[in-house]
Chain A
Amino acid sequence: MRVKSLEWKKPTLWERFVESAAEIGRSITARVALAGNLAVFSVATVFWLVVKGAKRETLTPAFYNVGVLSLPVVMLTGTFIGMVLAVQSYPQFKLVGLETRIGAAINLSLVKELGPVLAATMLAGRVGSALAAELGTMRVTEQIDALASMGVNPIHYLVAPRFLACLTLIPGLTLFADLMGVVGGAFFSIKLLGVDWSYYWEYSRNMVGMFDVFAGMFKSVFFGAAIALICCHQGFRCGAGAEGVGKAATSSFVISFVAILFLDLLLGIGLDQIQTQFLGGPKGSMI
């Protein structure tokens, strides 16, 4: 049997333009479809959680993995970031003679921004990627199909407990990150940089209010939900083979991280508006 050779013709400029436009269109369509798919997946997760709750047999390991195993790394990160903040901000504050107020800057940054964002980032890196890899492997080895074939809804059985664990435990993790950041920052500023401890805490108390702590923890709930949904979704739509699982794990972290920053911006704007409009603005002034 003879195989006809294919003749290759150089595409014209117009043909190349049309092909590029089509490629852009395909890419946009794929992203919109992905977003739609994630939305449906999220609604299904919340639906199953509300209607049937989560099974205890799946909830306990999820809580242990998300909460207990993440705590040490979140606390360690919080401690270091508190100390780094002290290192970076001290020279600038000293230049203008306001080094006694460094505690206010460190602690406000920690409870409002860095604590929640860092706890969420650590959760996305430690738990999120593992979730995507675990569920991706289950997809590749047909374990998810096996669940469905036995009349068990995979979203209810696999996603709902993980979502609930991330949603409910991240505020606690954030609180620990804040606490250790405050301790780390204070230790470095007072013990190593020689800032007067009474001024350090006095300015901190004047500057950081309960709303700031609440705002950080409130944001973290959204971060936790986004991490669980994005990572589980990536695992569920994992491609074939080891490469597919690897891609799912990587993309779950990247997408989660971008989502955390995006949500942080939106929620930051919203919460600042609430503080300004209804609570009379920030608690204190740096100057």
Chain B
Amino acid sequence: MTTDETKKDDAATNGELKPVRVEPNVENGARPYPLPNLVGESNPEPSAERGENASERLIEGAIVVEDGVKKVLRRRPPLLEIQDLNVIFGENQVLRDINLKVRRGETVAVIGESGCGKTVLLKNMIGLIAPTSGRVLFKGKDLARASGKALTEIRTHYGFVFQMAALFDSMTIADNVAFPLRQHRRNMRRSEIKERVESLLEEVGLNPKIVANKTPAEISGGMRKRVGFARALAMEPELMLYDEPTTGLDPIMSDVINELMIEVRDRRRVAGVLITHDMKSAEKVADRIVMLYPHSRLEPDEPQMIFDGTPEEIERATDPRVAQFIRGEAGERLREMAAGR
């Protein structure tokens, strides 16, 4: 039994909600999806509770018989879909023809060297940067075409963990975490908000009695990141966006953040997009890894996304650019940079 299977069995016995890791179907190229992704299933059960039965890992277009009625399975649209995304700032093209899908419960890590457009991609995913061309769809809704009110509503389904936490300096830690609730959950009582804030702080490993009344300047960098995490979870998002969450942290605290990301995915069944340079973090947290290459170094007909696969597959990647990145080897990079490439 593999480590993954052991974990899933444990989860099933404990009654915890653990998503099934969906493996690509190599034979026909189709990717099977567990039942929760089916149209018409209003209250999907976590797949781990149904065990690892192969008959429940169904392929789009397959015909199933349910209560004597034949049904053609169709997937829900992906939670987030990026279609032919191009982003150009002035004369500088950052992203070219990016296509990416993020499904419910899945964590995708986006890796690549500095300046390749990872953060720009992340900010496009939530509409903080508008695409020059192409579309970003959240549950099938185009962010660029959404009205201000619609975009506000869509953003309440996101949680964004910023690189430097981006906590509001003028507020206490408790007020920071309570902020989205006060803005969007008008019917929540003060006591309910307080309770929720305390529970969120505890969830990220912080003692509310110690930190709640402190300001962001009075706590450490690792604590600030976790407060940012708690704030992002306050609205119970469907999609978490992580912008280099382990940057600047010690190895232990980095792993704490990794564990938090895994817990969010497994317990809450929240999808995630992780932007990182940290291969250890990407391999531990992500179900899928995609690698971007800087546009300035691409040939005119080359795709910018040079890898899309599982953490196991990236270890076996044959593309020298991918292999060089995951091993952290500079190679000829210094001389290339000196030559302006």
Contacts and interface: CB of A to CB of B under 8 A. Distances in A.
B164 A149 contact: no
B235 A146 contact: no
B168 interface: yes
Contacts of B123: 145
Given A143-B166, A143-B169, A150 B128 contact: no
Interface stretch (B16-24, B43-51, B150-158, B282-290): B150-158
B164 A151 contact: no
A150 B183 contact: yes
Interface in B158-183: 158, 160, 162-164, 166-169, 179-180, 183
B153 A151 contact: yes
B274 to A, nearest CB: 16
A239 to B, nearest CB: 14
B330 interface: no
B164 A148 contact: no
B166 A1 contact: no
A153 interface: yes
B1 interface: no
Interface in B183-197: 183-184
B162 A145 contact: yes
Contacts of B152: 151-153
A150 B162 contact: no
Contacts of A23: none
B329 interface: no
Contact of B128 (A3, A141, A145): A145
A142 interface: yes
B301 interface: no
A66 to B, nearest CB: 16
Nearest to B335: A1
A77 B162 CA distance: 44
B332 interface: yes
A105 B183 CA distance: 53
Contacts of B80: none
Interface string A1-17: 10100000000000000
Contacts, number: 59
A151 B183 contact: yes
Contacts of B164: 141-142
B118 to A, nearest CB: 15
B162 A142 contact: yes
A28 B204 CA distance: 51
A149 B160 contact: yes
Contact of A141 (B166, B235, B336): B166
Contacts of B128: 145, 148-149
Contacts of A143: 166-169
B338 interface: yes
Q: Which of A141, A143, A148, A151 has the most CB of B within 10 A?
A: A151
A151 B155 contact: yes
Interface residues of A, number: 14
Interface string B224-241: 000000010001000001
Contacts of A152: 152, 180, 183
Interface in A126-185: 137, 141-143, 145-146, 148-153
Given A1-B332, A141-B166, A151-B184, A146 B160 contact: yes
A3 B155 contact: no
B210 interface: no
B180 A150 contact: yes
A222 B309 CA distance: 59
B126 interface: yes
B339 interface: yes
A240 to B, nearest CB: 13
Contact of A150 (B235, B338, B339): B235
Interface in B211-264: 231, 235, 241
Contacts of A137: 169
B183 A146 contact: no
B332 A148 contact: no
Contact of B156 (A142, A145, A146, A151): A151
A238 to B, nearest CB: 15
A1 B184 contact: no
Interface in A84-143: 137, 141-143
A84 B123 CA distance: 55
B188 to A, nearest CB: 15
A3 B158 CA distance: 47
A141 B163 CA distance: 9
A78 B160 CA distance: 49
B332 A149 contact: no
A150 B179 contact: yes
30 contacts: A1-B336, A1-B339, A3-B338, A3-B339, A141-B164, A142-B163, A142-B164, A143-B169, A145-B123, A145-B160, A145-B162, A145-B166, A146-B162, A146-B166, A146-B168, A149-B160, A150-B156, A150-B160, A150-B179, A150-B180, A150-B183, A150-B231, A150-B235, A151-B152, A151-B154, A151-B155, A151-B180, A152-B152, A152-B180, A153-B148
Interface of B: 123, 126, 128, 148, 151-156, 158, 160, 162-164, 166-169, 179-180, 183-184, 231, 235, 241, 332, 335-336, 338-339
Please provide the 9 A-B residue pairs with the shortest distance between their CB atoms, ordered closest to farther.
Answer: A146-B166, A151-B155, A149-B160, A142-B166, A151-B152, A151-B156, A150-B180, A3-B339, A1-B335
Given A1-B332, A142-B166, 18 more contacts: A1-B335, A3-B335, A137-B169, A142-B164, A143-B166, A145-B160, A146-B166, A146-B167, A148-B155, A149-B128, A149-B160, A150-B155, A150-B156, A151-B152, A151-B153, A151-B180, A151-B184, A152-B183
